[in-house]
């Protein structure tokens, strides 16, 4: 529907919504936060601020084929922590957070099954494990199931509201602001406690097929999650952890879809052009096929670099039934991959699935990057909690972990808001934000400005070439990072020239603005960690070895007075005993 | 991954405020054009989650692979039931594959 | 589910050994006992009613079961009796599932025993799947308003009001003219008895005159209609009368002194004013009324009113002379009121077809001695009342009057239909004319004389009279036909083929009846559907007084041309039906639709497609059905693209779970299975009748009864196909006769779209088929099925079949 664009700031109406618990992002973690809140207190006012439509928004739009962590019988939450730790090369990671999530994990997944999610079971009614910890599901309707439950229990959902900034009162977060991408209104949500669960950040880097007509968003991750939740916190001076731990994984080549856990599940070894089993051959010392994810991600790229590409997941041994099951898995998560194979006339038992790395993403549900949080999931900003991909320190959450963390964040938020009185809103802050949000719409038709798409493409190529994107086989160095930061500053300066002709473009404008904030701290983190700890996720060509000095967390925070990003470290604490590098 | 809308079949959901495809798209990409037919604002921004294709009550939308990635003539068609979904894949050599699974259980 | 899994008791009743003649009941019982959820299974051997009761009550009392499936043939009376008796034992009646296996086909001898057994087991499993999801339900009582609003105080409105008042209800009579009576008030005589219409009006007014329950609002029109059956809110606008009805005693002194005379014919001729000269109709209809006058056409209510726009400036003569000071000449505004009503009766009557449109044919408005039939009524009435109003022949010969039938009727350029009363009306007018003016010669120009029923007697009587001539042909009237004041008309008589020449002093055009302007205005503001001739349509032949809006009833000529007796009868029926909504509460059967707001994405399809306009959006934008308007057809459930609507006791989930049972075919792989959704109004009856008649209904078909074909949601068809069912048949009412207006049309379009999608999926679109089947078409049903199964056999099994 084409909406009449408001002509000036005065024509824009403001809606103020007061609530108890505000959840920014109606995704996996967000829905579980809402459901938990209503379970603990049915009279609590719970509001979800959602950028798209909650029934199919975010990373789960097409569905999910597996829940990658579900503790099997005989294993304990501590075992999960150990595995998780080994998968990130021994850490550092917040073992306290991981353990607390692991303890809630199975119950959250069981809830999903109660609500109708089909979990595949064997003849003895046990869940079918595709790998050590991952169970197969038919999750095409995962998102509607969660969304419906959240609505059923009484959460109030505001669809099509793009979040733009936190509402602050001094150093306390009392809600958030945003705009309606369909109705052009300005929104102020006042809340006693806020949970930010906006997913991760995609599109910081250029995806390597993004140079043509129809495939700008050929990314593994949902391209509509741009890190707005992170950006909101960055601007308010929140502390972020491990942003250098970018998520890169083995992906199907060109299509950039999931393949990693599938290749494990269907026992399809990663091979190179010569048919050599790469992991066994070259990475045996790091665990071979059991090697941590970043090893598996980097391996095919290294083969290409050294001229032994293309690389494949060897599916030639699969039976017809296994091929069917594999395709059903895809149909549940990235259905168009089946179309991709059909569009190549590819029979994967004859031509194995070609693999490659992907562009790097920031996702705290896969690696540990995101907000620094306490056990109650409160960030360093009072009143702001984080859960899911937005919260850091806790890698390998996946669907079950994000759900569990949503619950934990709610419990923390509810304790926090007990007997809390909401202060008055600072109208100056609000007016400034309103102006900032809608500015690109009012430049006028003669304005000689920059389109959001132009800036986005520039950002993505900048990051790709200078901050370790896929074209650089993830490598970066000091000089390139400095160059990147310098140009990011130029881009940030050019934000004033961004011009939008309609509300959709206005959303795109803010998406690129938010990405700039996230990209900036990613570069700072990459710069600060002067070693290579997780090759692929974080490769420093000037510091190719691991340095024990950096056996710690790298943190960042915007100094709101100097307006500069500060980076520092925090020590790593091993809680679960045992060899950090082994499960 | 352009979603292609068949203008003969599309009725713009009877020119409601928002047709169903516009309601559901996670990227705010579907909208109505001046003739009241659904259209994708920006094909290159589609992530091919296929939510629009699944929800269209008259079956007017088809998801295609961009030519960068796949050759002409392949189809993947979802048919949504109450708690099942079937998928039919037709590749460029006209080979047909069918899949069916439950999406919700009680 | 979950904490309290349902516990089903299965009671199999087979008196006459019909079932056991088809399948091994003992073996079936053994299998049924193993079905998950079935806690108790009994094969009855004794078929006295107490045995049924005991078979059910015992396990219920022991809490072994919490719901029942009855397998067998039961009459409706048996079902009701059992349900009521068991209700006393604590079982909610909606926890009974009735499954008559004998209404499904088991094939004739060719069908294998194994297939029959498997089919029986399949059907029972389907019943179990449905029973598991049954919920206890209670009838709801919704309060009603006990007053009715009648729109239009003509003969229908008066009789409807009278009927309701006699039943003790409050009635608001809303009339746009100054008085009651409508067109009947303008008539001279009724046919066939030649009696006086005033008498008929007076008869209705007998109970109305003195009733405290009646409020008459004249010079009033409705401006909005809100609400629903049992609780309507009608806003009306009343123009000022300038006379206080509480004070006026009807003495008429005001009229005596009023200087303004208004011709009465202005009430009659609502068309372009005719030609005014010495023969002009204006001069023929001499009756006038003063600017201050009693209500017209019939003086009820009995107080005066003023045509204020006709008053000379500053004239206060009436005010000065009124003994009770009832007159107020100050400028007044319209009175706006809100009337609460449980039911609305629309008796807005008819208007005469504007004969000025026939100027080119018959010269109306061109020549002065051409009038319409309604004007003729007034003329005859005034001739009866006043001896100074006479018809004169132009020359010294007898008065010659011509009547042109079908003037502007049965004509695609004017009114395409026949107004059914005009021929009898003409005959009646001739009779009266001859008694008032003996010696008059009448010529009737006609196409077909339609004097229905006993009116034929009158027609035959006149035919035998020498001074009445019937000519089968129509004259074409031109200005040049007027010679010395008389019209000289030549017509070709289609019987003899010879020209007939007549000289006419007065030509009466028997024009037809069109929907009244008041009726059309009301249709616009109420949204009531009209038929193609723009009369209110009820959709059903057998309940014509019902409109498509529950609680709004139509009667009389608002529905179509009819004579006075028919109008009065129809208003009586409408009044009886209206009583349903005027009782203190209306009972709502609990099987109404429910919207799941968690799934609903507010696409508004249910609101658009409901044939009865039941849905409104609540504050959050979700559709909510008005339970009083709802006729529980299930079309909303069928149209919802996200399956968010379910009917209580007939939910989408129940249907989906029943369909799921069909995943394992009861036939061999290559034998097609057909799932048939049959609408309970026509197709299902035809299907059951086919079995009862012993026709060879193929075993391949599983029948599911639905309230309307439109209740079938595409998602269910998709489920069926994805489970491997070879063909899905949706059978509804034939030929635009859908009992729920357009349910069948809707499902045909939807399933057609699904068929197109199947085509793109390389599945034959013929696997989804919709057919209209009439209630008696059992033979056709069987041959249709056979043809369908043959086709499906040729196509081969559904690619999704396991």
In chain C, % helix, strand, coil (3-state, to 5) comes to 35, 25, 45
Q: Provide the pLDDT for residue C275.
A: 43
Structure ipTM: 0.96
A vs B: CB pairs below 8 A: 180
Q: Provide the pLDDT for residue A392.
A: 96
Q: Does C1 contact A at CB distance below 8 Å? A: no
Last residue of a domain, one of A394, A417, A440: A417
Last residue of a domain, one of C98, C121, C139: C139
* Residues lower than pLDDT 50 in chain A: 1
Of all residues in chain B, the one with the smallest CA distance to C723 is B100
Q: How many domains does chain A have?
A: 3
**Given strand C400-407, what is the order of strands in its sheet?**
C370-372, C506-511, C400-407, C441-446, C468-472
Is there a domain that residue A311 lies in?
yes
Are C193 and C206 in the same domain? Answer: yes
Active-site entry in B47, B59, B79, B100: B47
Are C172 and C225 in the same domain? Answer: yes
Are A444 and A541 in the same domain? Answer: yes
Longest dimension (CA), chain A: 70
Is there a domain that residue C646 lies in?
no
Are A330 and A467 in the same domain? Answer: no
Residue A3 DSSP code: P
Are A494 and A515 in the same domain? Answer: yes
Are A109 and A218 in the same domain? Answer: yes
Is there a domain that residue A207 lies in?
yes
The beta-carbon neighbor of C757 closest among B55, B79, B81 is: B79
Q: How many domains does chain C have?
A: 6
Are C321 and C256 in the same domain? Answer: yes
Q: Are C150 and C157 in contact (CB under 8 A)?
A: yes
Is there a domain that residue C184 lies in?
yes
Mutate to test the interface with A, among B26, B56, B83, B104 (most CBs of A within 10 A): B26
Are A288 and A390 in the same domain? Answer: no
Q: Provide the pLDDT for residue C362.
A: 86
* Residues lower than pLDDT 50 in chain C: 1-2, 275-279
Structurally, at CATH architecture level, domain B1-64 sits in 2-Layer Sandwich (3.30)
Contact A149 C598 (CB under 8 A): yes
Per-domain boundaries in chain B? 1-64, 71-106
Are C492 and C555 in the same domain? Answer: no
Q: How far apart are the first and last CA of chain A?
A: 53
Is there a domain that residue A381 lies in?
yes
Residue B73: its chain A contacts at CB < 8 A? 343
Is there a domain that residue C100 lies in?
yes
Is there a domain that residue A120 lies in?
no
Is there a domain that residue A575 lies in?
no
Q: Which chains touch C (3 or more CB pairs under 8 A)?
A: A, B
Contact A148 C601 (CB under 8 A): no
Contact B81 C715 (CB under 8 A): yes
Are C669 and C746 in the same domain? Answer: yes
Are A51 and A194 in the same domain? Answer: yes
Task: Identify the contact set of chain A against chain C, taking CB-CB distances under 8 A.
Answer: 53, 55, 114, 144, 147-149, 151-152
CA separation for the pair C536, C577 (Å, rounded) = 16
Residue C782: partners with Cβ closer than 8 Å, 6 or more residues away: C690, C695, C696, C697, C698
Q: Which residue segment(s) compose the domain that A460 sits in?
A: 428-547
Is there a domain that residue C643 lies in?
no
Q: Are A55 and A226 in contact (CB under 8 A)?
A: no
Q: Are C368 and C274 in contact (CB under 8 A)?
A: yes
Mutate to test the interface with C, among B59, B60, B89, B96 (most CBs of C within 10 A): B59
Is there a domain that residue A383 lies in?
yes
Measuring CA to CA, which residue among A65, A32, A87, A33 is closest to residue A395?
A87
The beta-carbon neighbor of C601 closest among A55, A149, A152 is: A55
Is there a domain that residue A448 lies in?
yes
Give the gap in angstroms from C-alpha A39 to the nearest C-alpha of chain B.
21
Which CATH number do you get for residue C744?
3.40.50
Residue C2: its chain A contacts at CB < 8 A? 114
Q: Provide the pLDDT for residue C485.
A: 75
Last residue of a domain, one of C473, C497, C514: C514
The beta-carbon neighbor of B86 closest among C601, C602, C722 is: C722
Which CATH number do you get for residue C198?
3.50.50.60
Are C320 and C360 in the same domain? Answer: no
Are C693 and C801 in the same domain? Answer: yes
Are C395 and C496 in the same domain? Answer: yes
Are A260 and A288 in the same domain? Answer: yes
Q: Are A386 and A377 in contact (CB under 8 A)?
A: yes
Distances (CA, A) of C191 to A355, C273, C385: 94, 29, 19
Are C164 and C230 in the same domain? Answer: yes
Mutate to test the interface with C, among A50, A148, A155, A157 (most CBs of C within 10 A): A148
CA separation for the pair B50, A337 (Å, rounded) = 11
Is B47 one of the annotated active-site residues of the chain?
Answer: yes
Q: What would the pLDDT profile of A318-349 be if each residue is shown by its tens digit? A: 999 999 999 999 999 999 999 999 999 999 99
Is there a domain that residue C154 lies in?
yes
Which CATH number do you get for residue A344?
3.90.700.10
Contact A147 C597 (CB under 8 A): no
Are C751 and C717 in the same domain? Answer: yes
Work out the angle at residue C242's Cα, subtended by the Cα atoms of residues C236 and C243, and round it to the nearest 5 degrees.
105
Is there a domain that residue C644 lies in?
no
Last residue of a domain, one of C491, C514, C537: C514
Mutate to test the interface with B, among C599, C643, C650, C722 (most CBs of B within 10 A): C722
Is there a domain that residue C642 lies in?
no
Residue B79: its chain C contacts at CB < 8 A? 718, 721-722, 754, 757-758, 761
Contact C603 B98 (CB under 8 A): no
Are C560 and C610 in the same domain? Answer: no
Contact B75 A342 (CB under 8 A): yes
Which CATH number do you get for residue C323?
3.30.70
Contact B71 A344 (CB under 8 A): yes
Are A167 and A270 in the same domain? Answer: no
The conformational region for residue A267 under phi > 0 = left, psi -120 to 50 = alpha, else beta, is: left
Are C428 and C565 in the same domain? Answer: no
Q: Which residue segment(s) compose the domain that C765 sits in?
A: 651-802
3-state secondary structure string across C275-336: CCCCCCHHHHCCCEEECEECCCCECCCCCCEECHHHCCCCCCHHHHHCCCCCECCCCCCCEE
Contact C598 A147 (CB under 8 A): yes
Q: Does B82 contact C at CB distance below 8 Å? A: yes
Which CATH number do you get for residue A197?
3.50.50.60
Is there a domain that residue C795 lies in?
yes
């Amino acid at each position: 529907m084409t909406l009449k664009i408001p002509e000036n700031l005065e024509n824009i109406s403001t809606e103020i919504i007061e609530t108890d618990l505000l959840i920014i992002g109606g995704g996996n973690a967000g829905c579980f936060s809402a459901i938990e809140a209503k379970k603990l207190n049915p009279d609590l006012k719970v509001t979800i601020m959602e950028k798209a439509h909650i029934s199919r928004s975010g990373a789960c739009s097409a569905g999910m084929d597996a829940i990658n962590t579900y503790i099997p019988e005989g294993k304990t939450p501590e075992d999960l922590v150990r595995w998780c730790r080994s998968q990130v090369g021994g850490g550092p990671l917040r073992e306290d957070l991981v353990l607390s999530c692991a303890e809630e994990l199975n119950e959250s997944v069981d809830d999903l099954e109660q609500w109708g999610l089909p979990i595949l079971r064997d003849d003895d009614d046990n869940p079918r494990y595709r790998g050590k910890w991952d169970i197969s599901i038919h999750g095409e309707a995962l998102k509607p199931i969660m969304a419906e439950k959240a609505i059923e229990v009484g959460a109030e959902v505001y669809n099509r509201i793009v979040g733009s900034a936190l509402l602050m009162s001094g150093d306390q977060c009392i809600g958030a602001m945003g705009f309606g991408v369909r109705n052009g209104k300005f929104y102020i949500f006042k809340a006693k406690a806020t949970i930010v669960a906006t997913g991760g950040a995609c599109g910081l880097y250029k995806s390597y097929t993004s140079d043509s007509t129809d495939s700008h968003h050929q990314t593994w991750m949902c391209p509509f999650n741009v890190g707005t939740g992170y950006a909101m916190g960055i601007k308010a001076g929140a502390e972020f952890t491990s942003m250098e731990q970018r998520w890169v994984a083995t992906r199907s080549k060109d299509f950039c879809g999931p393949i990693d856990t599938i290749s494990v599940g269907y026992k399809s070894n990663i091979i190179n052009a010569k048919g050599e089993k790469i992991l066994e051959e070259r990475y045996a010392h790091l665990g071979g096929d059991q090697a941590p994810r970043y090893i598996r991600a980097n391996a095919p790229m290294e083969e290409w670099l050294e001229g032994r590409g293309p690389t494949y997941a060897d599916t030639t041994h699969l039976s017809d039934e296994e091929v069917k099951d594999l395709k059903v898995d895809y149909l549940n998560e990235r259905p168009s991959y089946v179309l991709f194979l059909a569009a190549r006339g590819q029979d994967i038992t004859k031509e194995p699935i070609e693999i490659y790395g992907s562009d790097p993403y920031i996702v705290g549900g896969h690696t540990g990057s995101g907000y620094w949080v306490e056990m109650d999931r409160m960030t360093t900003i009072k009143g702001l909690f984080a859960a899911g991909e937005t919260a850091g320190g806790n890698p390998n959450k996946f669907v079950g972990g994000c759900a569990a963390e949503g619950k934990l964040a709610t419990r923390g938020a509810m304790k926090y808001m007990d007997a809390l009185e909401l202060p008055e809103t600072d109208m100056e802050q609000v007016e400034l934000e309103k102006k900032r949000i809608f500015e690109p719409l009012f430049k006028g038709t003669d304005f000689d400005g920059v389109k959001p798409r132009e800036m986005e493409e520039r950002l993505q190529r900048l990051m790709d070439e200078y901050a370790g994107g896929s074209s650089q086989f993830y490598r970066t160095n000091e000089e390139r990072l400095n160059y990147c930061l310098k140009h990011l500053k130029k881009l940030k300066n050019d934000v004033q020239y961004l011009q939008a002709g309609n509300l959709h473009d206005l959303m795109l404008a803010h998406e690129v603005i938010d990405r700039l904030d996230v990209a900036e701290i990613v570069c700072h983190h990459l710069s600060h960690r002067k070693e290579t700890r997780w090759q692929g996720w974080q490769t420093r060509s000037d510091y190719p070895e691991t340095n024990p000095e950096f056996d710690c967390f790298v943190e960042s925070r915007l100094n709101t007075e100097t307006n500069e990003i500060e980076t520092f470290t925090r020590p790593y604490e091993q809680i679960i005993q045992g060899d950090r590098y082994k499960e | 991954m352009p979603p292609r809308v068949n203008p003969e079949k599309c009725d713009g959901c009877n020119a409601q405020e928002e047709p169903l495809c516009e309601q559901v798209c996670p990227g705010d990409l579907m909208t109505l054009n001046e003739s009241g037919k659904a259209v994708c604002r920006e094909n290159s921004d589609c992530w091919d989650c296929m939510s629009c294709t699944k929800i269209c009550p008259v079956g007017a939308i088809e998801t295609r692979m961009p030519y960068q990635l796949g050759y002409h003539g392949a189809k993947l068609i979802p048919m949504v039931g109450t708690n099942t979904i079937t998928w039919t894949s037709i590749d460029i050599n006209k080979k047909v594959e069918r899949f069916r699974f439950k999406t919700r259980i009680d | 589910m979950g904490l309290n899994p349902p516990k089903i008791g299965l009671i199999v009743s087979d008196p006459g050994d019909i079932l056991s003649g088809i399948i091994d009941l003992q073996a079936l019982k053994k299998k049924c006992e193993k079905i998950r959820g079935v806690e108790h299974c009994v094969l009855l051997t004794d078929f006295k009613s107490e045995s049924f009761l005991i078979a059910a009550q015992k396990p219920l009392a022991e809490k072994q079961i919490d719901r029942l499936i009855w397998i067998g043939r039961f009459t409706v009376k048996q079902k009701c009796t059992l349900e009521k008796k068991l209700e006393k034992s604590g079982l909610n009646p909606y926890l009974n599932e009735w499954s008559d296996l004998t209404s499904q086909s088991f094939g004739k001898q060719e069908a294998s025993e194994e297939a029959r057994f498997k089919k029986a087991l399949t059907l029972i499993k389907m019943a179990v799947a449905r029973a598991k999801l049954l919920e206890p339900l209670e009838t709801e009582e919704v309060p009603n308003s006990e007053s009715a609003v009648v729109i239009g105080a003509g003969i229908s409105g008066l009789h409807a009001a009278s009927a309701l008042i006699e039943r003790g209800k409050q009635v608001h009579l809303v009339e746009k003219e100054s008085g009651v009576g409508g067109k009947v008030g303008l008539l001279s005589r009724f046919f066939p008895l030649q009696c006086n219409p005033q008498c008929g009006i007076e008869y209705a007014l007998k109970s109305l005159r003195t009733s405290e329950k009646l409020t008459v609002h004249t010079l009033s029109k409705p401006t909005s209609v809100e609400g629903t059956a049992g609780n309507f809110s009608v806003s009306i606008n009343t123009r000022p009368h300038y006379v206080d009805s509480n004070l006026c005693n009807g003495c008429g002194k005001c009229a005596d002194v009023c200087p303004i005379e208004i011709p009465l014919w202005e009430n009659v001729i609502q068309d372009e004013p005719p030609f005014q000269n010495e023969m002009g109709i204006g001069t023929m209809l001499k009756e006038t009324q003063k600017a201050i006058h009693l209500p017209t056409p019939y003086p009820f209510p009995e107080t005066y009113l003023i045509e204020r726009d006709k008053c000379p400036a500053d004239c206060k003569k009436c005010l000065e002379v009124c003994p009770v000071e009832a007159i107020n000449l100050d400028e007044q505004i319209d009175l706006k009121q809100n009337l609460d009503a449980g039911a609305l009766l629309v008796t807005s009557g008819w208007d005469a077809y504007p004969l000025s449109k026939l100027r080119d044919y018959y010269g109306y408005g061109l020549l002065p001695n051409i009038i319409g039939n309604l004007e003729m009524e007034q003329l005859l009435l005034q001739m009866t009342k006043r001896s100074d109003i006479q018809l004169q022949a132009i020359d010294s010969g007898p008065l010659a009057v011509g009547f042109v039938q079908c003037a502007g009727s049965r004509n695609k350029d004017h009114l395409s239909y026949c107004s059914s009363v005009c021929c009898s009306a003409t005959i009646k007018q001739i009779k009266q004319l001859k008694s008032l003016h003996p010696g008059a010669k009448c010529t009737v120009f006609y196409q077909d004389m339609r004097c229905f029923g006993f009116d034929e007697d009158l027609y035959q009587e006149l035919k035998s009279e020498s001074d009445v001539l019937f000519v089968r042909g129509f004259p074409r009237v031109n200005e040049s036909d007027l010679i010395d004041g008389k019209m000289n008309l030549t017509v070709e008589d289609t019987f003899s083929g010879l020209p007939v020449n007549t000289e006419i002093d007065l030509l009466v055009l028997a024009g037809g009846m069109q929907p009244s302007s008041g009726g059309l205005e009301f249709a616009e503001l109420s949204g009531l559907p009209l038929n193609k001739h723009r009369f209110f349509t009820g959709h059903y032949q057998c309940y014509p007084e019902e409109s498509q809006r529950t609680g709004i009833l139509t009667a009389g000529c608002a529905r179509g041309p009819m004579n006075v007796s028919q109008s009065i009868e129809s208003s009586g029926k409408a009044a009886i039906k209206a009583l349903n909504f005027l009782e203190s509460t209306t009972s709502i059967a609990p099987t109404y639709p429910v919207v799941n707001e968690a799934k609903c994405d507010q696409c508004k399809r249910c609101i658009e497609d409901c044939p009865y306009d039941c849905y409104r959006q609540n504050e959050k934008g979700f559709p909510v059905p008005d339970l009083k308007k709802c006729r529980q057809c299930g079309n909303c459930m069928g149209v919802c693209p996200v399956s968010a609507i379910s009917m209580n006791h007939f939910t989408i989930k129940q249907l989906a779970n029943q369909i799921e049972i069909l995943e394992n075919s009861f036939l061999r792989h290559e034998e097609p299975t057909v799932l048939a959704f049959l609408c309970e109004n026509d197709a299902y009856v035809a299907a059951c009748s086919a079995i009862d008649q012993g026709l060879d209904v193929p075993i391949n078909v599983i029948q599911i009864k639905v309230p309307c074909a439109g209740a079938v949601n595409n998602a269910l068809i998709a489920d069926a196909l994805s489970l491997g069912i070879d063909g899905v048949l949706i059978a509804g009412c034939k030929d635009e006769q859908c009992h729920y207006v357009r349910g069948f049309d809707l499902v045909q379009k939807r399933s057609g779209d699904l068929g197109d999608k199947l085509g793109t999926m390389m599945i034959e679109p013929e696997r989804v088929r919709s057919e209209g089947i009439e209630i008696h078409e059992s033979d056709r049903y069987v041959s249709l099925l056979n043809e369908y199964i043959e086709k499906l056999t040729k196509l081969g099994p559904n690619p999704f079949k396991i």
